[in-house]
Amino acid sequence: MLGLGFTALLRLAWLAATVPILVVSLPIRPVGFLHRMIMGFAARGKTMMNSSTQKFTVPQRYFLHFYWWSLALTTSLALSTWFYAYRKMVPLASESLSYSTVASHLIGGSHIFSSHKVSSTPMEHKYQVWRTVFVLLLMEVQVFRRLYETLNVFHYSPSARMHFLGYLTGLLYYTGAPLSLGISCASEALSYARDQIAEFIVKGRDRMPDLQIDWLELLKPLLYLGWCQWIGAVIFLWGWLHQLRCHAILGSLRENKGADEYVIPYGDWFRYVSCPHYLAEIIIYFGILVASGGSDITIWLLFMFVVSNLTFAAAETHRWYHHKFENYPKTRRAIIPFVY
pLDDT, one tens digit per residue, over 122-153 is 778 888 899 999 999 999 999 999 999 999 99
Q: State residue 26's pLDDT score.
A: 54
146 and 67 in contact (C-beta within 8 Å)?
Answer: yes
pLDDT in tens, 288-306: 999 999 989 999 999 999 9
Spell out the residues 6+ positions from residue 89 whose beta carbon is closer than 8 angstroms to its own: 125, 126, 129, 130, 221
In terms of average pLDDT, the best of 178-192, 200-214, 246-260 is 178-192
Helix (H) or strand (E) holding 143: helix 122-152
- 307: which residues sit within 8 A by CB, 6+ positions away? 282
In Å, how far are 235, 242, 275, 335, 338 from 267, measured between CA atoms? 21, 11, 12, 15, 17
How confident is the model over 29-43, as pLDDT tens digits? 444 545 555 555 555
Which residues are paired to 44 by β-bridges? Answer: 162
- pLDDT band of residue 99 (cuts 50, 70, 90) is very low
DSSP notation for 67-100: HHHHHHHHHHHHHHHHHHHHHHS--STTS---HH
pLDDT at 192: 80
Q: What mean pLDDT do residues 317-324 have?
A: 91
In 3D space, the residue among 324, 323, 321 whose CA is nearest the CA of residue 273 turns out to be 321
**Counting every residue, how long is the chain?**
340
Distances (CA, A) of 311 to 214, 274, 320: 45, 11, 14
- Residue 273's DSSP bridge partners are 333
Say whether 113 sits in a helix, a strand or coil.
Answer: coil
Cis ω before 27 (30° cut-off from 0): no
What is the rounded CA–CA span in Å between residue 295 and residue 108? 8
pTM for the complete prediction? 0.83
- The larger pLDDT score, comparing residue 145 to residue 59, is at 145
Residue 175: pLDDT band by 50, 70, 90 thresholds?
Answer: very high
Residue 318 has pLDDT above 90, yes or no: yes
Query: Is residue 118 pLDDT above 80, yes or no?
Result: no
What share of the chain in percent tops pLDDT 90? 41
Closest CA to 246 of 223, 274, 213: 274
Greatest CA separation found in the chain? Answer: 74
What is the residue-averaged pLDDT of the chain? Answer: 79
Task: Say which amino acid occupies 58.
Answer: V
List, in order, residues 6 or more apart from 12 with CB less than 8 Å away: none
* pLDDT score of 91: 64
Going 239 to 244 to 245 to 248, the CA torsion angle's sign is positive
Predicted confidence band of residue 120 (pLDDT cuts 50, 70, 90): low
Whether the bond into 91 is cis, omega within 30 of 0: yes
| DSSP symbol at 266 | -
Give residue 257's region: left, alpha or beta (phi > 0; psi -120 to 50).
Answer: beta
Spatial distance between the Cα atoms of 139 and 153, rounded to a whole number of angstroms = 20
User: Is residue 218's pLDDT more than 90?
Assistant: no
Q: Which of 69-83, 133-147, 159-173, 250-264 has the lowest mean pLDDT?
A: 250-264
Alpha-carbon span 156 to 133, nearest angstrom: 34
Q: Given this model, what pLDDT does residue 30 score? A: 47
Q: Could you give the angle at the alpha carbon of 87 between the alpha carbons of 86 and 88, nearest 5°?
A: 100
Question: Given a cut of 50, is residue 51 above it in pLDDT?
Answer: no
pLDDT of residue 94: 47
| Alpha-carbon separation of residue 30 from 25, 164, 197, 249, 309 (angstroms) | 12, 26, 56, 39, 20
